[in-house]
Every structure is written in structure tokens, then in C-alpha cells.
Chains A and B, each alone.
Chain A
Amino acid sequence: MSTSTDLTLAIEDLTVSFDGFKAVDDLNLYIDKNELHVVIGPNGAGKTTVLDLICGKTKASSGSIKFLNKELTELAEHEIVRSGVGRKFQTPSIYENLTVFENLEVSYPYGRSVLGSLFFKRDQNVIDKIHEIAKEIMLDDALDTESALLSHGQKQWLEIGMLLIQDPQLLMLDEPVAGMSVKEREQTGDLLKKISKGRSVLVIEHDMDFVAQIAQKVTVLHQGKILAAGQMEKVQNDPKVIEVYLGH
């Protein structure tokens, strides 16, 4: 299956089993350039596991994951990131002891080797870039704040910012609006629309209203398999989907 495509992400026949339990089962998923793709599904459907597989946190039992025609299943985590895949974790994962500025600086994609980081210079380019990203994630007033003091929603944004500063071609966000207020959800929706220009975004979400607000294409995952896929409206009215997911 070494066909060359112009897809950003092509997942084919992907399976992972944990002691015989198939958390992801023969999955096929394609994401186009500039596409904002949402994966929904009930708890335990295997959504987070799909992201784990893409970014190398979990090794696939079989199948292939091609990112810009490059096979990812063979690569180490940091190599996957360096080839242009960014991933936000389900629970906000930031460095609580560092300031917002330092969080972004640590994520800045230069000085990634030991020596590089020892002699990394905080020059004007770095500072400008950090300010630019901070503005985008609405944290430009909080640059010197210790990030432990941020609100839950701001922490989510900060983690998104830490990915944006690396300018990934594929951005994967695991439940970005979990625990956010209504207003924060709206702001996050706008942010997602803005940042999905010029890159592909894969979002995992529970919140249906939020999905309706942002989604172009939706895939419904259930017990590790795809239950339905397509435009949001079509999926929402699919009887199978209503039964397993939207029904309750």
C-alpha cells in the first residue's frame, strides 16, 4: 500500500490490541490538506488511542499511518513531532512551574538537541514569535504569569500555543474544550478556525454543540471501529449513531 497521495494523513488497516482487547480495530481514516476533521464517540471508543498511535505513544499491532507519505509507525516520538505532527493531551499538559513565556520558549522548535539547548539564545526572533503566539491564544497579558496560576481554559490554550509555535502540519487536539465555560468554548472555536488555516487539524470532542460549531467532516468511532463518517448533519441523523451515542 505504498501509493503516493497528497493527503496529510492516511491511516490504513490500523489495529492495536491490549492483551487481546482491540482498542482500535482495522481503522481507516484520511485527512486532507487544510481539513478540520472531528472524531467523536462514546467513552472508551478508542479516540485517544488513535492519537496515541499517530504520535507514537502506543505502538500499532498492525497497519500503517502515513503522514505526508511518510510512514510514522517506525519512528520515535520526537521524530514524529519533528516531521510536523503536534498533539495536545486530554488533560492540559503544561509546565506548571514555568511562566507562560517559558512554556512557549521551551516549545520553540530550535535548540532541540542537548548542545542546542545549552547555547540557545533568546533573540528577537524568538521573543517576537512568542508574543505573536501568545496574542493568538489570548494570553499576551499573562506572559510572565506562572502557568500554574492560569485558569483551566487558559491552560488548554497555552498547550495549543505550545503546539502552534512549532507550526505543525497536522495538529491533533484531544478534547480541547473539556472543562471550559461557554464563553471560553466560543473563543476556542474561533481559535480553531483561525489556526486550521494552512494546516490539517484533527479534533477529538464530546461536546456536540461545539462539534456542530467547528466541524467540516466528522468520524464517529465506536468500540475501535468507524460507525459513520461524513458531514456533520448526515452523521447526526444516522440511526446507528443516534443509537450508540447521541441517543443518551
Chain B
Amino acid sequence: MSFVYNKLMGGKEGLTGFILLALLVLVVFPLCLDLFRLNLVGKYLTYAFPAISLVLLWGYGGILSLGQGIFFGLGGYGMAMFLKLEASSPENTAIQSTPGIPDFMDWNQLTELPWFWEPFGSFAFTIAAILIIPAAFAYIIGAAMFKRRVGGVYFAIITQVIAVILTILIVGQQGYTGGINGITDLRTLNGWDMTSDYAKYLFYLINCALLLGVIVLSRFILTSKFGSLLLAIRDKEDRVRFSGYDVSNFKIFVFCFAALISAIGGAMFTLQVGFMSPSFVGIVPSIEMVIFAAVGGRMSLIGVVYGTLLINFGKTAFSESFPELWLFLMGGLFISVVMFFPNGLAGLWQDYGHHITDRFKFITRLFKRKESLPLDDTAKSELAN
């Protein structure tokens, strides 16, 4: 019990925050929003996965990655490839010159399925690939960088460059990837209609459950000795190294874990939005993810979820009316948060939140009074039953 309370939830404060978030996404949103908006929130919540990954990586580990879009994209594309293959059955694509392959391949004069697409016909393989490939790719990048002690700005720039290269590759290799349009027209999952209302609710709930699960798992990591070590590495890397730790292994691990989380978000994005394209892989989305984390509070697993939601609501509201202004506004917001509120929304809540919670103290007081009352007879007999 104390393991769950302290290690998975992060004590009283963590538990309260977790329950409030769970209530918001599992109860309040589904009850208050129509399906269109709920689906939109579901999409936003998939961005919270890479934002959470940045809490571990950047907030605690001090490793700024400007390339989380890489892993979000890999996860998303993995799922999209599976769905696209299903959508491209010979019956569905009978009018193509080569039936049975995705439409964009046919348009690009491909006459057979490329070898690396083949295994994505299997759902089990796809899930495994989403969980393994991004993490393995992160391992390669991480081992190459951290073993050579590349860090700080250099690491940030290199991740950024990799994100650019990946985007260029996807856009350039149209016949294999769907190019700039991405992989579209995804309708069924194992023969089951993904666009139905029921499916949308279900995906939304699965997404929330995974998000909450990721928060719990991340909390476990951060409350373990590993979490203290991450902070220690961020502050005094040499001291950690000369205390007998192989620092690079810790950085590689947290980078891989961050990639894994981001990839799950990407896969859920594809399922809920129904397509995947390079515009969720490159520089802009990767930097946006950092902004979500910064605004929400890069030291707070829960805060970044609110940060992600807030910015995306703002983006939707604003970019409809003033699309040109939005980028400047977001840039300005980012700079002011970093300069004036380094702990983001979570920091504000910690500093000023008690003004609000104090008003609601009466609720806890109500409960307390009930508890301290001696049980009357009816209550006792109820308990006995």
C-alpha cells in the first residue's frame, strides 16, 4: 500500500493531482464535450506523451531533446502502416494498376510491397515495432552521443538535425512513405470501423488509460534512486561519475524510455486522428513538445498534461482567427515562461494554488467530520451486512 502511495503516486500531492487529472479526462471531458471536441482533446492528449517524456529527459535529466517528434512520428507511422495495409486489400484497391498495395505506392509506379512494409501486415508485429523500434533508434543515438560525452546544446542540435533528416526522408521517398501527404484514409482496425462513435470513445478512453499509466510508471522511475540520480547528473555530472556510476548508461536509458513514451503517443494519434504525416515529425512539432513541457512545468508529470491541453486549446482558438499571429504568440509565451516561470503552470500552482484549495477546504472538513462521528446503529448494521 505504501509502495503504491509513495512510489507510484508520489505521496499526497502527487495522488491529489493524479486523481484530479483522471477525473478531468475520464469523467468531466466525456460528459461535457461533444464527440467532435472529445476527439480533439484526445488528439491533444497524445501530445502529452512526448511532453511527459521531456519531464524525465529535460526537467530531471537536464538533457534537452529537440527531436521527440522523431519518436512520436515513428510510433505514429508504425500504426499507420498497419492500418494502411489493411485498407489496401486487393478488393478495396481493385482499380489500381497493382491491386493490394497502398494507393500512394501505386501512384508512384511501385509494383510490389517494399520488404519493410511486409511485417506490418501483422498487428502483433506492429505493436511490438511501435514499442521497440523507436526505443532501439534512441538507443543508437544515445549510445553514440552519451558514450562520447556529447551533451547540452550539441545534443539538442543533433536531435534537431535527425528530426529534419527523417522528415526529408519521409517527404522524399514518396513511394515508400506517402510523402508530404503522409499515410491517409485509415478506416478499419482488424476489420472494425475506426470512425464510428463507439470506436472514438473507446480510443479516447484507451488513450487516457495509457496516459495515466505512463504517468504512474514515470512516477515510479522518478521516485526511485534512479530519479535522484537523474537530478544529480543534471546538477553535478562529474560527482556522479566519480561516485562510481557509468553516467552514459543512465542517460541512454532515460532517452530510450522517453522515446518509448513518445512512440505510444504517436500510435494513439494515428488511431484517433486517422492519418499520420511528416508534419508531426520535424522541427516544429518537436519544439512545440518542448513548449508544452515548459509551459506545463518541466518538473511536473501532471503539469505538462495541462500545459499541453492549454496550449492546444489556445492554438485551435487562436489560429482559426489569427493564424499568422499564433506562432509569434507561442514563441513569446515560451520565452516568458522560461524567463519568469521556470516551473511553468505547476510552479504557479505550487506558489498560488493554496489560495484556491483553501476555499475548498470545507469539502475535506465535511469528510473528516463524518469519519470522526461514532457510527450509529443503522450504519453498523449496514457494515455488518
Contacts and interface: CB of A to CB of B under 8 A. Distances in A.
Contacts of B228: 95, 98, 102, 105-106
A104 to B, nearest CB: 11
5 contacts: A82-B244, A93-B239, A97-B231, A111-B225, A117-B225
B249 interface: yes
Contact of A97 (B225, B235, B244, B246): B235
A93 B224 contact: no
- Per CB-CB distance, the 6 closest pairs between chain A and chain B, nearest first, are A81-B244, A120-B225, A117-B226, A117-B225, A93-B239, A95-B232
B250 interface: yes
Given A105-B225, A118-B221, A118-B225, A78 B244 contact: yes
A192 to B, nearest CB: 19
Interface in B229-261: 229, 231-232, 235-236, 238-247, 249-250, 253
Interface string B198-240: 0000000000000000000000110011101101100110111
Contacts of B240: 106
A89 B243 contact: no
Interface of A: 55, 57, 76-78, 81-82, 86-87, 89, 93-98, 102, 105-107, 109, 111-114, 117-120, 159, 162, 166
B374 to A, nearest CB: 38
Contacts of B250: 114, 117
Nearest to A163: B243
Contacts, number: 76
Contacts of B229: 106, 117
Give the bracket for the number of chain B residues in contact with chain A. 20 to 34
B236 A77 contact: no
A225 to B, nearest CB: 26
Contacts of A77: 241-242
A116 to B, nearest CB: 8
Given A113-B249, A120-B224, A120-B225, A93 B238 contact: yes
Contacts of A107: 243
Nearest to B246: A78
Given A95-B236, A118-B221, A76 B242 contact: no
Contact of A114 (B226, B236, B243, B244): B226
B239 A78 contact: no
Interface of B: 220-221, 224-226, 228-229, 231-232, 235-236, 238-247, 249-250, 253
B244 A93 contact: no
Among A76, A78, A96, the most chain B Cβ lie within 10 Å of the Cβ of A78
A27 B247 CA distance: 30
Contacts of B253: 114
Contacts of A78: 241, 244-247
A101 to B, nearest CB: 10
Given A98-B231, A117-B224, A55 B242 contact: yes
B143 to A, nearest CB: 13
Given A55-B242, A113-B249, A118 B226 contact: yes
Contacts of A117: 224-226, 229, 250
A86 B242 CA distance: 7
Contacts of A82: 244
Contacts of B226: 114, 117-118, 120
B244 A166 contact: yes
A211 to B, nearest CB: 24
Contact of B244 (A105, A109, A119): A109
Given A106-B229, A117-B225, A95 B235 contact: yes
Nearest to A113: B249
A149 B182 CA distance: 54
Given A81-B243, A119-B224, A166-B243, 8 more contacts: A87-B242, A89-B238, A105-B225, A106-B232, A113-B246, A114-B253, A117-B225, A117-B226
A93 B236 CA distance: 7
A95 B238 CA distance: 11
Contacts of B246: 76, 78, 113
A112 B224 contact: no
A207 B249 CA distance: 40
A196 to B, nearest CB: 20
A166 B239 CA distance: 13
A89 B243 CA distance: 12
B248 to A, nearest CB: 10
A43 B244 CA distance: 29
Contacts of B236: 93-95
Contacts of B232: 95, 98, 106
A105 B224 CA distance: 11
A93 B237 CA distance: 10
Contacts of B242: 55, 57, 77, 81, 86-87, 89
